[in-house]
Amino acid sequence: MIFMANLKCNHTRKSFEEYAQILDESLKDENVFVFPPSSAFLEGSFKFKQAAQNFYPAKNGSFTGEIGQDMLDEFDIKTVLIGHSERRAIGESEEQLKAKFEYAKKEGFKIVYCIGENEEIFEKGKTKEFLKSQLENIDLDYENLIIAYEPIWAIGTGKTASSEIINDVLNYIRNFSKSSLLYGGSVNEKNIATISKIKNCSGVLVGTASWDAKAFLKLINSAKEMI
């Protein structure tokens, strides 16, 4: 099972060093990715894979405030997050997401591509139609692609999609791609056992419950008990 921690705008380099040490002391052979803020990237090798929450589709250049590939290469980062709803909410367009995807694909990055619907679309019963439109933007046959389904109405709200909803949506996405499929949206220690049993769910993209290293480890261990 894949466990991904999106630390979002949390942790300094000092606190992330402590976070990394706690994980390294406890992890064995689990498949774990951690997305720290770019200012907290660490040099060295770890039992987890360090990944980027955001990047600009260029090696470097006159792109004020952006993170180029050269900066990721310095820390041997080969996994990137694209399409998270919080990036879309601040204005990243489908055109920008496609440019990021094509660049990352060209450079051989592992891409975690996020899709998800808001509450209005969910309530209208148009989730699948909406998700299909988001998937049309990318190469679904790319061998280093992971798709993360994150219903916006469940991110940071404490609401989690039921196992029936997750199962139905992931089964639908499976019609279009053979990639690993993740679920994200208020994943925590209490619901991870149920989520881990869903047939087409290869893992989870965890937000709030991953910000504390010990809490994240408890979540991982809870899932392992069910595998």
Q: Is residue 143 among the annotated active site residues?
A: no
Give every CB contact of residue 22 below 8 A, 6+ residues apart in sequence: 213, 214, 217
Q: Which of 59, 49, 16 is nearest to 146 (CA)?
A: 49
Long-range pairs, 59-67, Cβ under 8 A, ≥24 = 67/38
Residue 127: Cβ within 10 Å count: 21
List the structure tokens of 130: 């909406």
Q: What sign does the CA torsion over 155, 87, 75, 57 have?
A: positive
| Tokens 């099972």 belong to residue | 1
219 is in an annotated binding site: no
Active-site entry in 25, 117, 150, 189: 150
124 is in an annotated binding site: no
Active-site entry in 11, 84, 92, 117: 84
Radius of gyration of the chain from Cα atoms?
17
Chain-centroid distance, C-alpha 113? 7
186 is in an annotated binding site: yes
Residue 185: Cβ within 10 Å count: 26
Residue 209: Cβ within 10 Å count: 19
Residue 54: Cβ within 10 Å count: 17
8 is in an annotated binding site: yes
199 is in an annotated binding site: no
Q: Is residue 120 among the annotated active site residues?
A: no
Given a contact cutoff of 8 angstroms between Cβ atoms, the answer to whether 205 and 148 are in contact is yes
Q: Which residues are catalytic?
A: 84, 150
Binding-site sequence positions: 6-8, 156, 186
